[in-house]
Each structure stands twice: as C-alpha cells, then as structure tokens.
C-alpha cells in the first residue's frame, strides 16, 4: 500500500485529494500540511511514497521545498499541483525533481492517471533495484578467459538481459536464440556482410523451435515469435528509460541507451514516463539484436 502526503494551503483541495486516494483504494494519507516549511521536516521524517505538493505555498513554495527535500536525500516521489501553466515555471518544477504535474482545478481522471503512472514508476524502480543487486554478484570473466562458444555467448546475453530487467519476459528466450542464429550465420560468412531480414530470421527461429523436441513454448509460429520479441524489447526500453530518469549517469543507462536503442527514442520514452508526452519511444528490433551482438564481440 502506498503512503501519501499532501501539501496545499487550501484545505478543500487536501480533502478532495485525500478522498480520491482513500475511496479509490490507492493507498493511505499519512500526513498533510498547508505550509511548505512545516511540511519539509514531516516529509523527511515520514518518508512517504508519494508527495502531492502545491506550487504556491506559504513559508516555502513547492519548487523550493522539493529541491531542499531532494538535497536532503528524500526518496519520495513528487507530484506538483498548480493552476500555473507558464512553461518556465513548469520547467523549473521538473528541474526541482517532480515526476508529474497535475493542473487545477482538479480532474479526478487526471489525478488517477498520474498517480497510476507514478505507482508504475515506483514498482519498476523496485524491480530494477532487485535486478541490480542480483547482477552485482555476477563476476564478469576476463575476455581472454572466455571461450568463443555458443554457450559463452548465451551467458553473456543473459547478463545483458538481466541488466535490462527482462529475464522473466516471454520473449527473452526468443531473443537469446535469435542472437545465436544470427551469430552462426555471420560466422559462416566470414569476410562477408550478412544483411539479413528479421522476417527471415523469425522463420528460421520458428523452424528451430519446431525441430527441437525438448523445446516447450507457448507458440512457435512466426507471428507469435515476432510479437513476443517486440513486447520484450519494448519492456527493455521502458526499464532503461526508468533507470535514466532515476540516474542518467548509471553505467547501464549510458552503456545500453545508445548501443541497443536510438537515444532519441529512449528520451521519448523518458518523456512519456514523466508525463511530458503522450507517446512512447519507438523500438528497432534489428538495432537491438545487432547491439547485443556488438556487446558480445567486445
């Protein structure tokens, strides 16, 4: 259950937000205040999951309060609430550390949508944290000690898939096998550029699954394989964008955001997750596969 803290000098706004949160079973309101300076200490002490904060507040305005909380190490997620539509003020709010922006007068649908997005962000961060702790225990082997075998390549792909948080996705095994097939083809055409079509590789993968009697999957049909892979790559993009929002200097983000994806599409996905855009970033499966192979050859 999520813990909410509401900061607004209008008590009626606080009551409306509290009512939405409790009646829609979004979580529990653990505190509220009408003054930015007073709310500062309470939020640090309580450490709620989500803080809904008005922009214009007595004592300390919302932007300054959030900036101070971030500097003090607060791990809460902040949603700004305001009637102000000026682009410079909205930009300042995002720079201070907010996740999303809700406009006044309040719209129940918008409030539910924004809180739902922040909840998704929180859950993804938790998943990424668990994945990161798991991966930290995997000691990479030196390149000279790694035998150039298919099993070695698959283990390397597994590490990248784990880093991207898509190990449990249905298409992760399809991706592993697709990389294996492409690598085999490239190896058989030494000195030649293997300009393959994804559609042809999906057909090869389908035949591979059908011939493997020990292989069990939901479907070995070409269309099903393509859909599983695309959904998994899209999930990888979403997880990477979430990581970029949390820490743009994280080595995983800097390593994979340009090698596996078009960076402008990663940025687009980040904008979508922050609520700055209504459109997801686009994926390029072939670039993703080629990026994986590039990492294997390093």
Q: What angle do helix axes 62-71 and 87-96 make, rounded to 10 degrees?
A: 20
252 shares its domain with 198 = yes
Q: What is the pLDDT at residue 159?
A: 85
Decide if 20 is inside a domain.
Answer: yes
State the Cα–Cα distance between residues 36 and 56, nearest whole angstrom.
9
Q: What is the pLDDT at residue 250?
A: 86
Decide if 244 is inside a domain.
Answer: yes
Boundary-marking domain end, from 97, 127, 157: 127
Decide if 116 is inside a domain.
Answer: yes
Q: What is the pLDDT at residue 194?
A: 57
Please give the C-alpha separations between residue 86 and each of 25, 36, 90, 106, 274, in angstroms, as whole numbers.
33, 21, 6, 18, 18
Q: What is the pLDDT at residue 151?
A: 47
91 shares its domain with 23 = yes
161 shares its domain with 116 = no
103 shares its domain with 169 = no
Q: pLDDT by residue for the chain (298 residues), tens digit each?
A: 899 999 999 999 999 999 999 999 999 999 999 999 999 999 999 999 999 999 888 888 889 999 999 999 999 999 999 887 666 777 777 777 787 888 888 999 989 988 988 888 787 677 656 545 544 444 444 444 434 444 444 567 888 888 898 988 888 888 988 888 888 776 665 544 456 788 888 888 887 776 654 444 456 678 888 999 999 999 999 999 999 998 888 888 988 999 999 999 999 999 999 999 999 999 999 999 988 988 877 6
Please give the C-alpha separations between residue 294 and each of 161, 256, 274, in angstroms, as whole numbers.
14, 11, 31
Residue 43: give its domain's CATH number: 3.40.50.2300
6 shares its domain with 101 = yes
For 75-105, how does the pLDDT look when each residue is reduced to its tens digit (9 = 90+)?
Answer: 999 999 988 766 677 777 777 778 788 888 8
Q: What is the pLDDT at residue 155?
A: 61
Q: What angle do helix axes 198-211 and 285-296 make, rounded to 10 degrees?
A: 70
Q: What is the pLDDT at residue 279?
A: 93
R_g of the chain computed on alpha carbons: 23
> Under the phi-then-psi rule, with left for phi > 0, alpha for psi from -120 to 50, and beta for the rest, what region is 191?
left
Decide if 138 is inside a domain.
Answer: no
154 shares its domain with 289 = yes
Decide if 133 is inside a domain.
Answer: no
Beta-bridge mates of residue 6: 32, 52
162 shares its domain with 211 = yes
Q: What is the pLDDT at residue 24?
A: 94
Decide if 134 is inside a domain.
Answer: no
First to last CA, the chain: 44
Sorted by sequence, the CB contacts under 8 Å of residue 104 that are 6+ apart come out as 13, 81, 82, 83
Structure tokens that stand for 114 in this block: 């924004």
For 156-182, how does the pLDDT look when each residue is reduced to its tens digit (9 = 90+)?
Answer: 788 888 889 898 888 888 898 888 888
Decide if 211 is inside a domain.
Answer: yes
Decide if 132 is inside a domain.
Answer: no
State the Cα–Cα distance between residues 75 and 40, nearest whole angstrom.
13
Q: Which domain holds residue 224?
A: 143-296
82 shares its domain with 39 = yes
44 shares its domain with 100 = yes
Boundary-marking domain end, from 70, 93, 127: 127
149 shares its domain with 237 = yes
Q: What is the pLDDT at residue 121?
A: 77
Boundary-marking domain end, from 127, 156, 172: 127
62 shares its domain with 105 = yes
- Phi and psi at residue 261, to the nearest 5°: -140, 165
How many domains are contained in the chain? 2
Q: Which residue has the tokens 């609430």?
A: 81
161 shares its domain with 290 = yes
- Phi and psi at residue 7, to the nearest 5°: -125, 110
Among candidate residues 195, 165, 176, 193, the one with its CA nearest the CA of residue 256: 165
State the Cα–Cα distance between residues 110 and 183, nearest whole angstrom.
47
């Amino acid at each position: 259950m999520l813990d909410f803290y509401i900061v607004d000098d209008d008590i009626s706004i606080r009551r409306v937000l509290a009512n939405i949160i409790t009646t829609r079973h979004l979580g529990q309101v653990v505190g509220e205040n009408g003054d930015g300076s007073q709310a500062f200490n309470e939020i640090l002490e309580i450490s709620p999951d989500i803080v809904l904060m008005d922009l214009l507040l007595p004592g300390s305005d919302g932007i300054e309060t959030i900036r101070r909380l971030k500097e003090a190490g607060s791990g809460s997620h902040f949603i700004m609430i305001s009637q102000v539509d000026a682009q410079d003020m909205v930009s300042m709010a995002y720079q201070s550390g907010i996740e999303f922006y809700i406009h006044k007068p309040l719209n129940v649908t918008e409030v539910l949508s924004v809180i739902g997005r922040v909840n998704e962000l929180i859950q993804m961060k938790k998943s990424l944290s668990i994945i990161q702790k798991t991966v930290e225990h995997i000691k990479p082997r030196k390149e000279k000690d790694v035998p150039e075998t298919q099993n070695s390549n698959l283990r390397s792909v597994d590490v990248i898939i784990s880093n991207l948080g898509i190990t449990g996705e249905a298409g992760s095994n399809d991706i592993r096998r697709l990389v294996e097939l492409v690598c085999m083809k490239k190896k058989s055409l030494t000195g030649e550029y293997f300009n393959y079509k994804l559609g042809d590789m999906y057909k090869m993968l389908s035949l591979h699954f059908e011939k493997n009697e020990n292989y069990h999957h939901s479907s070995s049909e070409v269309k099903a394989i393509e859909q599983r892979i695309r959904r998994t790559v899209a999930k990888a993009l979403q997880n990477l964008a979430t990581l970029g929002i949390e820490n743009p200097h994280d080595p995983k983000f800097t390593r994979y955001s340009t090698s596996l994806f078009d960076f402008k599409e990663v940025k687009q996905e980040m904008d979508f997750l922050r609520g700055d855009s209504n459109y997801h970033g686009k994926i390029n499966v072939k670039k993703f596969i080629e990026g994986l192979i590039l990492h294997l050859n390093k």
